[in-house]
Structure 1
Amino acid sequence: MKKLKVGLISFAHGHAFSYYASLRSLPEVEIVGIADESAERVRQLVERDGVPYFGDYRQLLAGDADAVVICAENVRHAELTIAAAQAGKHVLCEKPLGISVAEMEAMIAACRENGVQLMTAFPCRYLPAVAEAKAAIARGEIGEIVAVKGTNRGSNPGGWFVDRELSGGGAVLDHTVHVMDLINWMLGAKVSEVYAYAATRFGAAEIDDAGLVHVKFDTGAFAVIDTSWSRPRSFPTWGDVTMEIIGTDGVISVDGFAQKNEVYSDGDGKGTWSYWGDDMDELMIRDFVRALLDGAAVPVTGEDGLRSAEVALAAYESSKLGQPVSLA
């Protein structure tokens, strides 16, 4: 069996642990190394699994990896992706793809010029409810889409996420991109205008933790997304992904994490929601690996990442100006 050799660069973003577990579960994948400036952060994985460790990502890129998964702080995505591309490695990069349109364009160009593929990590496309909604829209079951109301409300993740020098933005950047990607994917339309509100309302002292992003499309459709870190620590789960998709012939309601059990634990000291649906991270990782082994195009591109992140960046500009911002 031909194996894809994959390395992981940085576990700063917690999604890296899930992606790593998914990669380990695939017999067609060989994990050839973990690069992280924090040895302690990955010590347990390295010692338990015997995976080579590199304190400098350049050491990993100098090896024989076919592809790398990047889960660094947002401000490092461009540097790491471009370096990986120049080393001839395919890239799966955590969202948001970048913190400026210029650097995202540079990332895409570097991958294209070096003959490697760039995939943006948007696992929400693999949620069962989302996949069914996309298929129903493609079948024309609700006619032409005229409006979408979405939410990606979560808890404040803390750490480097609330340090603008490392994150590039707060809740609006962190939580616009997932649902915006789903809307872009389902509508296949171009965003023409963004009008947004961003502020600190839930306790993040130096960065936005509340946002409402309004979007107009060139088709005449429009959307609004609640992108806030509004869930308290006592909430049963970290957050949500929901959409109300309104068409000329009907409405589709999507609750991405509705497949859940209610769990009451004295250990946790609160009730929690335990999701039992398909593992979206695993499905995304499988698609990434399969595409590279088959020589096919990755299913979620760097351009997809740019199209969603540019809306979040325009939202900040709109909030600052107090008026709509054109993306036409």
Structure 2
Amino acid sequence: MHAFSYADCLRQIDGVEISSIYNEDEEQGKSLAQRFGASFFSDYNKLLEQKPDGVIICSANADHKKHVIASAESGCKHILCEKPIATTLDDAQAMIDSCSSNGANLGIAFPCRYIPAVMNAKSAIDSNTIGKILAAKTTNHGRMPGGWFINKEKSGGGAVMDHTPHVVDLLRWFMKAEPVEVYAEIDNKFYKMDIDDTGILTIQFDNGVFATLDTSWSRTKSYPTWGDVTLEIVGTDGIISIDSFAQDFDLYSDANMKAEWVYWGDNMDMGLVKDFIASVKGEKPFQIKGEDGLQALKVALGAYESAKAKNPVKI
């Protein structure tokens, strides 16, 4: 889904060439290669023989493992993998281990970290503007994406697998805390298909923070944006409210005695891609590691386990 945007960002960066594109759909792959002035390969290993400086993997979730490991074993040192990192914890760990043993840097694509409102929230939290964080209310809604996203074998799950990782990553990043327990109610309410389109999660963190998350594919085609990523962070001294897709950040603080608003800024995918390219050039390490993807995946898989057991599950 994000491959087109990442490619558009890449070709806007000086000194970067999109040299090769792989797609299991040959017709689509050739069209993309022509659009971006790249060579097309129907065999991923043949692409890797070209010795790219870095690869960005946007294949179906279940295919991430084979593509990441093949990249690491080929000698590629910089790999950016779309979220979720994988569909099982074993696959995710195998990817991390392969990159480590082959000296490859594995990054996970969590572009929401690069939204200006989110970065402002991170700065406010780090500077203790809202005091000790007590709770969070979050959402990641969207439209039902179709395609392999609704093929459980390829995606690993529906709305919960699709939307849990983004928000869990932001909460972990904000608080420097790990999720320890999840309870979930998961169902199929909007579409007649054999995959979840609705999920409500409650997540407990090791710092005592309690968070709620609505992951549902509940947005219609007429909705003004594709979906949303919203977070309300409640602290002892203030509240931060973020609407990421509207790029709206509100800060209510007793210390300031006034509200602050931050509006539109840079493209989040551009921020992600620029940081990845900087890591490829050796200018700085890429900040979002394979371990971040693993921790987010644990919550999504724990949510499915919880819904099946109808009980909270330890992570």
Bin for the TM-score computed over the shorter chain: over 0.9
Separation in 2 of the partners of 1:296 and 1:277?
23
Q: Which amino acid aligns with 2:83?
A: K
Separation in 1 of the partners of 2:247 and 2:203?
29
**Cα deviation, residue 47, structure 1:** 2.3
Asked if 1:143 is matched to 2:131, the reply is yes
Asked if 1:312 is matched to 2:290, the reply is no
**Cα deviation, residue 62, structure 1:** 1.2
Separation in 2 of the partners of 1:259 and 1:142?
20
Find the counterpart in structure 1 of residue 84 from structure 2: 96
Find the counterpart in structure 1 of residue 175 from structure 2: 187
**Cα deviation, residue 257, structure 1:** 1.8
Separation in 1 of the partners of 2:193 and 2:222?
20
Name the SS of the counterpart of 2:24 in structure 1: coil
**Cα deviation, residue 297, structure 1:** 2.1
Work out whether residues 151 and 225 of structure 1, in 8 Å CA contact, stay in contact via their aligned partners in 2.
yes
Aligned pair in 2 of structure 1 residues 203, 293: CA closer, same or farther (>3 Å)?
same
Separation in 2 of the partners of 1:140 and 1:199?
38
Separation in 1 of the partners of 2:247 and 2:304?
33
Separation in 2 of the partners of 1:206 and 1:277?
39
Asked if 1:213 is matched to 2:201, the reply is yes
Asked if 1:79 is matched to 2:66, the reply is yes
Separation in 2 of the partners of 1:176 and 1:49?
31
Match of 1:240 among 207, 211, 228: 228
Asked if 1:41 is matched to 2:28, the reply is yes
Find the counterpart in structure 1 of residue 245 from structure 2: 257
Output one character per residue of 1:17-47: Cα deviation in whole Å (capped at 9) or x when no partner: 0001111111121222001121221333322
Separation in 2 of the partners of 1:49 and 1:257?
27
Find the counterpart in structure 2 of residue 134 from structure 1: 122
Find the counterpart in structure 1 of residue 184 from structure 2: 196
Separation in 2 of the partners of 1:297 and 1:83?
22
- Gaps of at least 5 residues in structure 2 are 249-262
- The aligned runs of 1:9-20 (5 Å cut-off) are 14-20=1-7
Separation in 2 of the partners of 1:231 and 1:58?
38
Work out whether residues 162 and 204 of structure 1, in 8 Å CA contact, stay in contact via their aligned partners in 2.
no
**Cα deviation, residue 320, structure 1:** 0.3
Match of 2:49 among 62, 83, 91: 62
Identity %: 50
Name the SS of the counterpart of 1:31 in structure 2: coil
Work out whether residues 39 and 55 of structure 1, in 8 Å CA contact, stay in contact via their aligned partners in 2.
yes
Aligned pair in 2 of structure 1 residues 77, 48: CA closer, same or farther (>3 Å)?
closer
Q: Relative to structure 2, which stretch is displaced further, 158-167 or 288-297?
A: 288-297
Separation in 2 of the partners of 1:174 and 1:121?
13
Find the counterpart in structure 2 of residue 125 from structure 1: 113
Work out whether residues 54 and 79 of structure 2, in 8 Å CA contact, stay in contact via their aligned partners in 1.
yes
Separation in 2 of the partners of 1:319 and 1:48?
43
The Cα RMSD (Å) is 1.4
- The aligned runs of 1:224-239 (5 Å cut-off) are 224-239=212-227
Match of 1:31 among 10, 13, 18: 18
Match of 2:268 among 253, 277, 280: 280
The count of aligned residue pairs is: 300
What TM-score results when the alignment is normalised by the length of structure 1?
Answer: 0.89
Work out whether residues 246 and 264 of structure 2, in 8 Å CA contact, stay in contact via their aligned partners in 1.
no
**Cα deviation, residue 238, structure 1:** 1.2
Find the counterpart in structure 1 of residue 165 from structure 2: 177
What TM-score results when the alignment is normalised by the length of structure 2?
Answer: 0.92
Separation in 2 of the partners of 1:78 and 1:31?
22
Q: Which amino acid aligns with 1:84?
A: S
Aligned pair in 2 of structure 1 residues 36, 252: CA closer, same or farther (>3 Å)?
same
